[in-house]
Structure 1
């Protein structure tokens, strides 16, 4: 089913999105941005955005009603930060990084405490709720995933993975782990100490990101060669799972430039999703209709991270160097910014299905 989302030139005109209303966040990080997280439970309906970066900091911004963002707090790791997530109540932020640990920052007291430790850098971190108990799950290059109850110093449980953990996501009771060598581990958080299912990624190249559906029935996978796969936890029928091409230039003769899919975010209301990549573009897709909703012009640099706010009215994306061209591809002039895209009514809504009579 590759190429399923291809749009004909006649339809392409109304599928091009507009960046004119996008607003840059002031006082952005000073190095590559690794992750973005919105608070899932906006107090007083206020949106807060947490941004982690290679400059060793996590920054918290408040999104004001006029669309501008104000810096509210920042805290530091001792080495680059790779991942960040909010607690369910929106009152705490958890982050992880190259310092082999995870930190929790209480936004009420602004105090920071270490809550996790690994033998190698911690690549990703997520919050989840275990029967009312706040829990943190961390995935590391030491090939383990660890669960942390914040009331104790030792991990509540450890999962041994096949390879280094590159990406991870949680939604409801679904935990999905992507490792090196293209292993994808699916965990039911009601039975967190075992793999419910393990598959090899249907994509032929290295996994860059996994992201759970809004309804937790499955997940999307993005790879380094401009492909995305849709996978359901329970295989309904052979056509449910499919993959498609994205983030690649039109062929020039026998050469096609392909780009990494760096992040995938699901719309919290409509269940549609975004892909963003090294080519500096993002797109909105409808997996059920197998259709691209909107594609956006190049933003002037690789997009390294994306996130919708809780209501799906703001789409945040980070523009910074993603190391896809190695050390030599970086420069002092490379942009480093977080942009806020106001989501218009029709941009992420699923297309009405055409039913045959």
Structure 2
């Protein structure tokens, strides 16, 4: 798992835009009173989604014929860090700095606490577990545990110790990836969810910010604070053949003196989402930009110019025809970066195949 190939994004095969392709994006103004931490779409409807924020709230919207409708909201007692939908699209789960896991029933409009950790809940997912693919909620916390919850019981089905605080978590099919502090990456086969299948170190040198699983459930992408991504595979042979890392969310310094070595302004990779149909993915960073990448052919499909603030989170809808992205404080500068005038905006970008469908060199 240690073989890494490095590639640069300035290979002459990338496509940058001047921002005109974003002019028709739907803007959800004032979607939160503080930083937007997570966005999740319903797996059953194309344009219904939830967003969690640092103002202690989870909000649910529906977009019909280009008109944004607020459907519901519910509250935690502290900032909310994560939100996801159940497989049948009837429930929204969330967790945050009150250490609580909440479940909201979209039909009844009622929310309830279904679990608790000893520290903030950083990430959660609805996952198929065991030989019967029973849907449970798995939560990852800064208390160095993940817990599996049956929505009908107040106590966790099981608790698994992690090597450090959980920073990010994702799953596809029966693959669950948990990224923790100190660059640990924990790999779990959900057929046997209580056991760590493998624990490896991130190949990136600095703090892991986000992980995102491939659709096939055979690997995952890692983003870090150093403006780099690593594409990894579970199988060691496949990793040696196909795994690589690359630089992103970097720009040349504008103020370097003549004769000095070229320097880059490095931005944090805050968020990664894999396209649900194609083998492409999108990254968003503290530089305010987001980019579509072709994993299999190793090049950038399209990049967009910086927005008015950091891209704190991105996510696709269920068929990949819409990308939601949040322009919001990502806390990479700590408390000092949380200006009163910092924007909190969610935008919905209709994607095209040219932006998100991989293509070989002779097709570009």
Q: TM-score, normalised by structure 1?
A: 0.94
1:15/1:293 contact within 8 Å kept: no
Q: 1:185 to 1:289 in 2, by over 3 A?
A: same
Kindly state the Cα deviation for residue 151 of structure 1 after the two structures are TM-superposed: 2.0
Give RMSD over aligned pairs. Answer: 1.6
Aligned partners of 1:200 and 1:62: how far apart in 2?
40
Aligned partners of 1:91 and 1:265: how far apart in 2?
23
Q: Which residue of 2 is the match for residue 246 of structure 1? A: 248
Q: 1:292 to 1:109 in 2, by over 3 A?
A: same
Answering whether residue 132 of structure 2 is matched by residue 128 of structure 1, we say no
Q: Secondary structure at the match of 1:328?
A: helix
Aligned partners of 2:18 and 2:8: how far apart in 1?
18
Q: Secondary structure at the match of 1:347?
A: helix
Answering whether residue 33 of structure 2 is matched by residue 30 of structure 1, we say yes
User: After the TM superposition, which of the residue ranges 81-90 and 247-256 deviates more from structure 2?
Assistant: 247-256
Q: Which residue of 2 is the match for residue 233 of structure 1? A: 234
Answering whether residue 304 of structure 2 is matched by residue 296 of structure 1, we say yes
Kindly state the Cα deviation for residue 327 of structure 1 after the two structures are TM-superposed: 1.7
Q: Which residue of 1 is the match for residue 160 of structure 2? A: 159
Q: Which residue of 2 is the match for residue 47 of structure 1? A: 47
1:19/1:297 contact within 8 Å kept: no
1:52/1:82 contact within 8 Å kept: yes
Q: Which residue of 2 is the match for residue 110 of structure 1? A: 109
Kindly state the Cα deviation for residue 144 of structure 1 after the two structures are TM-superposed: 0.3
Q: How does 1:260-271 map to 2 (within 5 A)?
A: 260-271=268-279
Q: TM-score, normalised by structure 2?
A: 0.92
Kindly state the Cα deviation for residue 216 of structure 1 after the two structures are TM-superposed: 1.2
1:3 to 1, 4, 7: 7
Kindly state the Cα deviation for residue 215 of structure 1 after the two structures are TM-superposed: 1.5
Aligned residue pairs total 349
Q: 1:13 to 1:143 in 2, by over 3 A?
A: closer
Q: Secondary structure at the match of 1:315?
A: strand
- 1:278-309 deviations in Å (ceiling 9; x for gaps): 00000000110001000001111000011000
Aligned partners of 1:99 and 1:352: how far apart in 2?
47
Q: How does 1:281-320 map to 2 (within 5 A)?
A: 281-320=289-328
Q: Which runs of 5+ in 1 are unaligned?
A: none
Q: Secondary structure at the match of 2:185?
A: strand
- 1:155-206 deviations in Å (ceiling 9; x for gaps): 1111101100000001110100000000000000001111111100000000
Q: Which residue of 2 is the match for residue 342 of structure 1? A: 350
Answering whether residue 331 of structure 2 is matched by residue 323 of structure 1, we say yes
Aligned partners of 2:231 and 2:177: how far apart in 1?
13
1:86/1:94 contact within 8 Å kept: yes
Aligned partners of 1:194 and 1:144: how far apart in 2?
13
Q: Which runs of 5+ in 2 are unaligned?
A: none
